[in-house]
A = this chain, B = another copy of it.
């Protein structure tokens, strides 16, 4: 079977080619008038400057970790750590970075073009934005396939590692680099975008009373830069990690399940088939020139659902051909259906066409405190659907894949269901990544004074983006929890393969305390990321206030604010605040292991997976609902824009910003980073730990 894994290269080339074609489509459009070009150039410059600085900060941390890994691997002659891992760590990081970077490049080129195209028609606007999203979506999956294929062939053919178990165990460690990079990108970008947003809103909208994206607001360019570095580059790195992580986790589980290389070929085939179906699906994303917002959503949905359905159909013969089990096929379906179901419930809880968000909007009648309480309880309540769906997916895919007779086969079922969930990532990510482009286009339309109707069209595109983003987050969170479970088991397999006997019972104090530490890590990590936004935003508020006061004539539009100062301040703030939470995620599992041993680490992974999942759903959904409740009021309910209700809702939205765009989405990565860090450092922890001394 291993001879067929070259199919991964086919998938990679297909995806990258399609991305290239889409890029060409975007660039064919005009960037609009001079003002628009100038604004777009400022945003581009700000985003590039930020990413450049971010990468150079991250490079330092990567260098340190790389050296530590090198020492661990070579000083013990591969005993403590495979000699490949340090290099895989680097490549994983670089590809993940690249996935985000390319997505950001095209997004900063597509924003003004989308605004210009939207001045022709809604459909034209949609096409530019969606093409830009496609570039990112297909780049992510293409690079992911490439990374996995190259490493597989290197290890198998060049280094002659032909034992499936060994190969799987080495491959799964490759995830750490991608997770680590993703965490920096998500946290750093998330802090940047939300600090900019909160800062701009607090002084601009609330204090000075000028509209969003008003060129008089010094923070407005930084706000638009933030959309690109956070929602595009951060998300790209994040989903690259999810995609690669789910495939690698099933690699590691395949040998134990007795599927050998066939069980590794299957996720590759699923991914390639998903790429094909996504390409087909994306041809169906089109609408009439005079389309309504409703028909826009319909066209996006047609594309994604078509891709998912085609994938589901094609997966049947592929599964049967490779592992010869219909049960495994059911596991894959569980993933696909589970992802869609989580997406649906995410939409239910966060879209203003449903009751929960409407009720939240109504709670603004009694002030901002009740909006906050309402949003928090909505978010907490919404964990029920996601957790029940994931639980059902876990239990069904476990037993369907044969968990009753062979425990390892059941676990492979859980791992492959995550791959199923993410197989059509190409198109779901495209529909997701188009949102920030539309958001930017709106900003440019506003700043360059395009006619009202253009802004209305970009708003329609943007608001649609919120809905698709919710679905995308559903997939990311759902797959993260499944992958985390698969990684937890890989960890146990790897430790036990080194001859360590573990008591993993929940009644073992080391496991229990590990659980506690895992829950603690989730809460403290969320606290760090939230207070990072807070700190960064507060310094921003000061700067914006200073400019309003010191630069005469800003409010009359006579003098230009110092946009660059705000961009620079955001960059500095985000980079400064990004490091602590990221280090937390790498240090806590190692220290826990050194104190409590491998059993404690398993507890920690369980605790962080479970609490992190619940917390991620809670934060993302609460944030999304606050955002849409505000939009619902702005659409004319409960007094509309400028009313007291609106002001109360703005408070909710501001609190929701770090929830849904910084802390919430970072938790997915945290969960997986903890797992891969534990796997990579398992050799160290087995050799040295306090429990071993007792």
A-to-B contact residues, CB < 8 Å: 198, 202, 206, 363, 366-370, 372-374, 376-381, 383-384, 387-388, 390-391, 394-395, 398-399, 403-404, 410-411, 414, 485, 488-489, 492, 504-507, 509-513, 515-520, 522-524, 526-528, 530-531, 533-534, 537-538, 541, 596, 602-603, 606-607, 610-611, 613-614, 618, 650-651, 654-655, 658, 694
Contact = CB atoms under 8 A, between A and B. Distances in A.
Nearest to A607: B610
A607 B395 CA distance: 17
B488 A373 contact: no
22 contacts: A202-B369, A206-B367, A363-B538, A368-B651, A370-B534, A370-B538, A372-B372, A372-B651, A373-B531, A374-B531, A377-B527, A377-B531, A378-B531, A380-B524, A381-B524, A381-B531, A383-B519, A485-B512, A488-B507, A504-B507, A610-B611, A611-B614
A330 to B, nearest CB: 15
The 8 closest A-B pairs by CB, nearest first: A380-B527, A369-B654, A504-B505, A381-B527, A387-B520, A377-B531, A377-B530, A377-B527
A523 B369 CA distance: 20
A350 to B, nearest CB: 15
Contacts of A390: 516
A654 B394 CA distance: 40
A694 B654 CA distance: 49
A268 to B, nearest CB: 25
Nearest to A525: B380
Contacts of A537: 366, 370
A410 to B, nearest CB: 7
B517 A603 contact: no
A487 B607 CA distance: 19
A611 B383 CA distance: 13
Contacts of A509: 394-395, 398, 403, 410, 414
Contact of A533 (B373, B489, B531, B655): B373
B387 A530 contact: no
A374 B279 CA distance: 45
A30 B522 CA distance: 53
A505 B505 contact: yes
Contacts of A504: 504-507
A501 to B, nearest CB: 12
A363 B655 CA distance: 13
B541 A388 contact: no
Contacts of A655: 369, 372-373, 376
Nearest to A540: B366
A660 B519 CA distance: 20
A288 to B, nearest CB: 41
A526 B603 CA distance: 24
A557 B317 CA distance: 82
Contact of A651 (B363, B611, B651): B651
A690 to B, nearest CB: 10
Given A387-B519, A403-B509, 10 more contacts: A370-B534, A373-B658, A374-B534, A376-B527, A387-B517, A395-B513, A515-B515, A515-B606, A610-B610, A651-B651
Contacts of A611: 519, 610-611, 614
A523 B523 CA distance: 13
Contacts of A383: 519-520, 523-524
Contacts of A694: 399, 404
A380 B523 contact: yes
A694 to B, nearest CB: 6
A533 B370 CA distance: 10
A655 B369 CA distance: 6
Nearest to A201: B369
Most buried by B among A206, A383, A506, A509: A506
A515 B301 CA distance: 34
Contact of A388 (B520, B523, B651): B520
Contact of A526 (B380, B404, B520): B380
Contacts of A520: 383-384, 387-388, 614
Contacts of A363: 534, 538
Contacts of A524: 380-381, 383-384
A155 B523 CA distance: 45
Contacts of A533: 373
A148 to B, nearest CB: 25
Contacts of A376: 527, 530, 655
A488 to B, nearest CB: 7
A651 B652 CA distance: 11
Contacts of A517: 387, 391
A368 B368 contact: yes
Contacts of A513: 391, 394-395
A522 B395 CA distance: 21
Contacts of A372: 372, 651, 655
A614 B374 CA distance: 21
A363 B398 CA distance: 49
Contact of A506 (B202, B506, B534): B506
A500 to B, nearest CB: 14
A410 B607 CA distance: 23
Nearest to A413: B509
Contacts of A489: 507
